[in-house]
Structure 1
Amino acid sequence: MIRERQGISRRLLAGLAILVVSGLPALAAVSDCTSSGAADPAARIAACTRMIEASQGLPGSLEFAYIKRATARLVLKDFDGAIADYSAVIGISPKSIIAYHGRAVAWFQKGDYDHAIADFDQAIGLDPKNARIQYSRGLVWSQKGDVLRAIADYAQAIEFDPKYVPPYIERGLLWAGKGDNDLAIADYDKAIGLDPKSADAYNNRGRAWAAEGDNDRAIADYDRAISLDPKPAASYYNRGMAWARKDDSGHAIADYDQAINLDPKYAFAYLERGVVHFYSGALPKAQADFEQAASLRPDNAYLAIWLDMAERRGGAASHLQDAIGKLDMRKWPAPVVRMLLGEQAPADILEAAAEARNANARTGRLCDANFYTAELDRLQGHGDEAMRLYRIAVSNCPKGFTEYIAAKAALKELGVSP
Structure 2
Amino acid sequence: MRPTDWRFWSALFAATIFLGYSAAFLGYSAAADQCDSAQDPEAAIADCTRGIKSGKSKGRDLAAYYNNRAVAYRARGDNDRAIADLNEAIRLDSKLAMAFNNRGAAYNEQGDNDRAIADLNEAIRLDPKFTMAFNNRGNAYNAKGDNDRAIADFNEAIRLDPKLARAFQNRGSTYHDKGDNDRAIADFDEAIRIDPEDASVFNSRGNAYRARGDYDRAIADHNAAIRLDPKSVKAFVGRGVTYHAKGDLGRAITDYNEAIRLNPKSPLAYFARGRSYLFAGSVEKALADLDQASALAPDNAYLALWVEIASQRNNLPSRLAQTSSRIDMKVWPAPVIRLFLGQMTPAAVLAAAADPDVTRKKGQVCEANFYSGELSLTKGLKDEATRLFRLAASDCPRSFNEWEAANAQLKTLGVVP
Matching residue of 1:410: 409
Structure 1: distance between partners of 2:107 and 2:303: 31
SS of aligned partner of 1:279? helix
Given that residues 233 and 263 in structure 1 are in contact (C-alpha distance below 8 angstroms), is that contact kept between their aligned partners in structure 2?
yes
CA contact (8 A) 1:79 1:109 kept: no
**1:165-218 Cα distance to aligned partner (Å, 9 max, x none):** 111111111222222222211111111122222222211112222222222222
Query: Which of residues 81, 85, 109 in structure 2 aligns to 1:82?
Result: 85
Q: Does 1:293 align with 2:293?
A: yes
Alignment of 1:11-410 (within 5 A): 11-13=4-6, 15-16=7-8, 22=16, 30-31=32-33, 33=35, 38-41=39-42, 43-52=43-52, 54=54, 56=56, 65-75=65-75, 76-77=78-79, 78-87=81-90, 90=93, 98-99=98-99, 101-102=101-102, 104-105=104-105, 120=120, 123-124=123-124, 127-353=127-353, 355-410=354-409
1:162 maps to amino acid:
P
CA 1:47–1:163: 2 relative to 1, 3 Å:
closer
Q: Distance in 2 between matches of 1:26 and 1:411?
A: 58
Structure with more relative contact order (C-alpha pairs < 8 Å, separation 6 or more)? 1
Structure-2 separation of matches of 1:68 and 1:258: 35
Identify which range, 124-133 or 154-163, moves more after superposition: 124-133
Considering only CA atoms, is the larger Rg found in Structure 1 or Structure 2? 1
The answer to whether the Cα contact below 8 Å between 1:70 and 1:86 also exists between their aligned partners in 2 is no
Deviation per CA, 1:20-65: give whole Å up to 9, x if none. 952699786x336567x94352x54443344455563798976765
Cα gap change, 1:244/1:89 in structure 2, threshold over 3 Å: closer, same or farther?
same
Contact 2:256 2:270 in 1 (8 A): yes
User: Is the contact between residue 16 and residue 101 of structure 1 (CA under 8 Å) also seen in structure 2?
Assistant: no
Residues 59 and 93, structure 2, Cα contact 8 Å, conserved in 1: no
8 Å CA contact retained: 1:271, 1:290: yes
| Counterpart Cα distance in 2 of 1:25 and 1:366 | 47
The alignment partner of 2:16 has SS state of helix
* Partner Cα distance (1:49, 1:183) in 2: 46
Task: Using the TM superposition, name which of 260-269 and 61-70 deviates more.
Answer: 61-70
Contact residue 236 and residue 255 of structure 1 kept, 8 A: yes
Distance 1:285 1:324 in 2: 23
Q: How many residues align?
A: 403
Structure with more helix by fraction: 1
Distance 1:363 1:118, change over 3 A: closer
Write the distance in 2 (CA, Å) between the matches of 1:162 and 1:285.
48
Cα gap change, 1:309 to 1:46, in 2 (>3 Å): closer
C-alpha RMSD of matched pairs (Å): 3.4
Q: TM-score, normalised by structure 2?
A: 0.82
**What per-residue deviation string (whole Å, max 9, x for no partner) do you get for residues 355-376 of structure 1?**
3332222322332233223323
Residue of structure 1 equivalent to 2:21: none
> C-alpha separation between the residues in 1 aligned to 2:85 and 2:317?
49
Q: Gapped runs of 5+ residues in structure 2?
A: 18-26
State which drifts further: 56-65 or 177-186. 56-65
- Structure 2: which amino acid aligns with 1:358? D
- Tell me, in whole angstroms, the C-alpha distance in 2 between the residues paired with 1:210 and 1:27: 43
Using a 3 Å threshold, how does the CA distance of structure 1 residues 303 and 160 change in structure 2: closer, same or farther? closer
Give secondary structure in 1 for the equivalent of 2:280: coil
- What is the identity, as a one-letter code, of the residue corresponding to 1:272? A
Q: Indicate the SS of the match to 1:31.
A: coil
In structure 1, give the amino acid aligned to 2:72. A
Query: What residue in structure 2 maps to residue 3 of structure 1?
Result: none
